[in-house]
Amino acid sequence: MVKKVLITGASGLVGGILINHLSKNPNYVIYGMDKHVGLSMRYTLENTPIAQGQQPILPPKEKFYVCDITDGYQISQIIQDNQINIIIHLASLLETETIEKINHINCQGTEILFDAAIRQEHVEMIIYASSVMTVFGYLESEPYSALVKNIQPKQLLRKITINDVPIPSHFNPSFEAYCNSKIFCEELAKRYSSSATTNVKFICARLGWINTTDDINCDLYDWSDKSIWCSHRDLCQFIDRVLENQSILRKLEIYFVSSNNDYCWVDMDNSREDLNFVPQDGAKWKNT
């Protein structure tokens, strides 16, 4: 049966990657939602050249909705009118915004979306774009802090698992607020998934660092980035595996999603065991 997929934050970097990928699969009809149609802020933050007139990759006009993530009524109408089956929730403010804006959009907006989605009988699954930044606090202590300093660790790093306590980064207040917003929304997913009144499955994907150029072979990036880099191809493979295995997944699943990087310090064993997710790309430490 063809599934109808709604992607929030559709004009963002990850939204464009997934729309371009999933639109080629006849098993899915892709809908998009965003509060604007501008290119992702990631291009500016990473100083990626933008061609004049370049536009984000979006679904056709009749399948794209300009809607704020905090507008519960319009979200409910979009889901209901299109009989959406799967929601890939990407809408989120970056760590460059104020604490107040991050909490309003990332936390309150996600709660509004979750609440609207579980009330619709057609919704089967929500894939929530969490982040490896839920555990970025570990980079502030040895042995993980060596990566921030671009020092090759003297030993293999114990990998942080989904059972380890999330620890936000304390780099600055907005950075910490962003980390905490992802932790908060994972707790929301746990709460909603544990309700006996809904059968909606919640998949929390702790995405690694996805960059605009899809290239990691650059000295501009330190190993705190490279160790958790996720290529566009590996991102798409992960989403494919989740969609293909939807029927056998539990009501709540949490996965780290990165490429096969040297000194990757997050554990992806459960994604390999549950989904047969095997990253194809990876950053390699080049000894000189």
Q: Are 87 and 122 in contact (CB under 8 A)?
A: no
pLDDT band, very low/low/confident/very high, at 220 (cuts 50, 70, 90):
low
What does each C-alpha distance from 72 to 99, 185, 189, 252, 274 come to in angstroms? 22, 17, 17, 23, 33
Cis, bond preceding 143 (omega within 30 deg of 0):
yes
pLDDT band, very low/low/confident/very high, at 238 (cuts 50, 70, 90):
very high
Centroid of chain to Cα 165 = 19
Is residue 116 included in any domain, yes or no? yes
Dihedral, 156, 224, 171, 137 alpha carbons, nearest 10: -30
Is residue 143 included in any domain, yes or no? no
Task: Give dist(CA 202, CA 213) in Å, integer.
Answer: 30
What percent of the chain shows pLDDT beyond 90? Answer: 82
How are strands ordered across the β-sheet holding 252-257?
Answer: 64-66, 28-34, 3-8, 86-89, 125-131, 201-207, 252-257
Is residue 112 included in any domain, yes or no? yes
So what's the pLDDT on residue 43?
75
CA-nearest of 21, 37, 36, 27 to 4 is: 27
pLDDT band, very low/low/confident/very high, at 53 (cuts 50, 70, 90):
low
pLDDT band, very low/low/confident/very high, at 194 (cuts 50, 70, 90):
very high
Is residue 253 included in any domain, yes or no? yes
So what's the pLDDT on residue 41?
74
**pLDDT tens, 74-95?**
999 999 999 999 999 999 998 8
* In the predicted structure, residue 199 carries a pLDDT above the cut 60: yes
Task: Give dist(CA 166, CA 183) in Å, integer.
Answer: 7
pTM of the model: 0.95
Centroid of chain to Cα 118 = 20
* In the predicted structure, residue 182 carries a pLDDT above the cut 50: yes
pLDDT band, very low/low/confident/very high, at 202 (cuts 50, 70, 90):
very high
Average of pLDDT values for 55-64? 87
* In the predicted structure, residue 170 carries a pLDDT above the cut 70: yes
Q: Which of 145-149, 201-205, 209-213 is the most confident on average?
A: 201-205
Average of pLDDT values for 58-66? 91
* In the predicted structure, residue 14 carries a pLDDT above the cut 90: yes
Is residue 109 included in any domain, yes or no? yes
Is residue 220 included in any domain, yes or no? no
Is residue 224 included in any domain, yes or no? no
| Domain residue limits at 48 | 3-134+161-214+231-260+267-275
Lowest mean pLDDT among 48-52, 107-111, 176-180: 48-52
Q: What domain count does the chain have?
A: 1
Task: Give dist(CA 136, CA 167) in Å, integer.
Answer: 6
CA-nearest of 277, 104, 266 to 181 is: 104
Is residue 149 included in any domain, yes or no? no
Q: How many CB atoms lie within 10 A of CB 27?
A: 11
* Mean pLDDT for all residues in the chain: 93
Report the CATH number at residue 196: 3.40.50.720
- Better pLDDT: 197 or 267: 267
